[in-house]
Amino acid sequence: MKTLTITRPDDWHIHVRSGAVLKTVLAHTARQFARAIIMPNLKPPVTTVAQALTYRDEILRAVPVGVDFTPLMTLYLTGATTAAEIKAAAESDAVYAFKLYPAGATTNSDAGVADITAIYPALAAMEKHNLPLLIHGEVTDEQCDIFDRERVFVDTHLRAIVEHFPNLRTVLEHVTTTEAVQFVQTAGDTIAATITPQHLLFNRNAVLAGGIRPHYYCLPIIKRERHRLALLAAATSGNPKFFLGTDSAPHLTSLKETACGCAGCYSAHAALELYAEAFERADALDKLEGFASFYGADFYRLPRNTGTVTLEKNSWTVPAFYGENGLSITPLKAGEALSWKLQHYQS
């Protein structure tokens, strides 16, 4: 059987939630990835080092026995984030970045930043303390077409942030457009981007053609085919500015399959398998290891992992849902076949 062994990867952008959902999803990530950057958009958001430490403990308690997994915590940037909190974050061994959500841009972002220039002092403090800034790059202007929100954000806000803070390491999270890819490619070495499996595998027809499919609805919304091709080219190019971040975002099935379904695709159950499928179709499986296991660690200035994971070419069917006792999370490709399967890992 065909197999693929690579250095154990990391997920540089994931939502694992808390409580029963956390307990349902965490094992999926922990058996694939050695480390993961944990998004702070809980209700209420994780805004202080003390909250991040409490949340980290809850995550560590959900790691299956014998599995080696390290959550890398982030703090949620608000208009009230203080320089003292940023300093404390930099000095802690738990917090690895701050996350900027424009207020109202996506799931649980109400407490986000309404006026980006007003938080420039906080960005200056992050630059000084060498803490990366992670950005959900979409404008929230209701007049702006949802398919244009990333491109406009890059032009108006990201360009200005990068100009003002040339030494601030910045990750444009889950890029979805040709324009964002081009911006990252031409910006300096301090600017990088993560790419999700759904944006590499699907275009907007998956969401809208032949019926509305809520499990493909995430933000930034999946774009048209030419954008998917640009993302795939970037991910498989070997350019270290582009690395793996699933943006796996579990929601209860009942909250997705409703008149106003919420945004987020659950992909942790098969993250590497989904990326392997995309890379194989682009005839670029040899580029998967750099994207999944090297470039993110290098950008965050952390050591590369030493263990390995092995995938085998072995078709399996994704379950209809994950969860028990009435809890249901519908995964990406539910009920469909995947061609790669995680076989084992060694830490």
Which residues of this protein are in contact with ligand NCD, per CB under 6 A?
15, 41, 106-108, 136, 218-219, 247, 249, 263-264
Query: Do residues 313 and 339 make contact, with C-beta atoms less than 8 angstroms apart?
Result: yes
> In this complex, which beta carbon is closest to ligand NCD, that of residue 15 or of residue 35?
15
The answer to the question of residue 247 lying near Zn ion (CB under 5 A) is: yes
Contact (CB, 8 A) for 55 and 38:
yes
Q: Which does 194 bind (CB under 5 to 8 A by kind): ligand NCD, Zn ion, none?
A: none
Do residues 71 and 38 touch, judged by C-beta distance below 8 A?
yes
What are the respective helix, strand and coil percentages of the chain, to the nearest 5? 40, 20, 40
CB of 268 to Zn ion, least distance (A): 12
Query: In the complex, what is the shortest distance from the CB of residue 317 to Zn ion, in angstroms, rounded to a whole number?
Result: 27
Round to whole Å and give the CA distance between 290 and 286: 8
Q: Which residues of 139-178 are buried (b: 16+ CB within 10 A; e: fewer)?
A: bbeeeeeebbbbbbbbeebbeebbeebeebbbbbbbbbbb
- Min dist CB 249 to ligand NCD, Å, is 3
Residue number, 126 or 249, with CB nearest to ligand NCD: 249
Q: Find the shortest distance in angstroms from Cβ 286 to Zn ion.
A: 28
Residue with the CB atom nearest Zn ion in the bound state? 247
The interface region with Zn ion, picked from 71-79, 90-98, 246-254, 326-334 by CB under 5 A, is 246-254
Backbone angles phi, psi at 283, to 5 degrees: 55, 45
Q: In terms of CB distance, is 219 or 311 closer to ligand NCD?
A: 219
**Residue placing its CB nearer to ligand NCD in the complex, 219 or 292:** 219
| Active-site option among 11, 110, 148, 247 | 247
The residue of the chain with the least Cβ separation from ligand NCD equals 264
**CA geometry: angle 251, 254, 258, nearest 5 deg:** 110
* Between 127 and 247, CB nearer to Zn ion: 247
Partner from Zn ion, ligand NCD, none binding residue 106, C-beta < 5-8 Å depending on class? ligand NCD
Active site residue 148: no
Give the chain's largest Cα–Cα span: 56
Please give the structure tokens belonging to residue 107. 């799931």
State residue 328 phi and psi, 5-degree precision: -135, 125
Q: Rule CB under 5 A: is residue 277 a binding residue for Zn ion? A: no
* 3-class secondary-structure state, position 213: coil
Partner touching 35 among Zn ion, ligand NCD, none, CB below 5 to 8 Å by kind: none
Distance, first Cα to last Cα, the chain: 23
Which of Zn ion, ligand NCD, none is residue 124 near (CB under 5 to 8 Å by kind)? none
Query: Of these partners, Zn ion, ligand NCD, none, which one is at the site of residue 218 (CB under 5 to 8 Å by kind)?
Result: ligand NCD
Q: Which residues bind Zn ion (CB under 5 A)?
A: 247
Task: State the catalytic residues.
Answer: 247
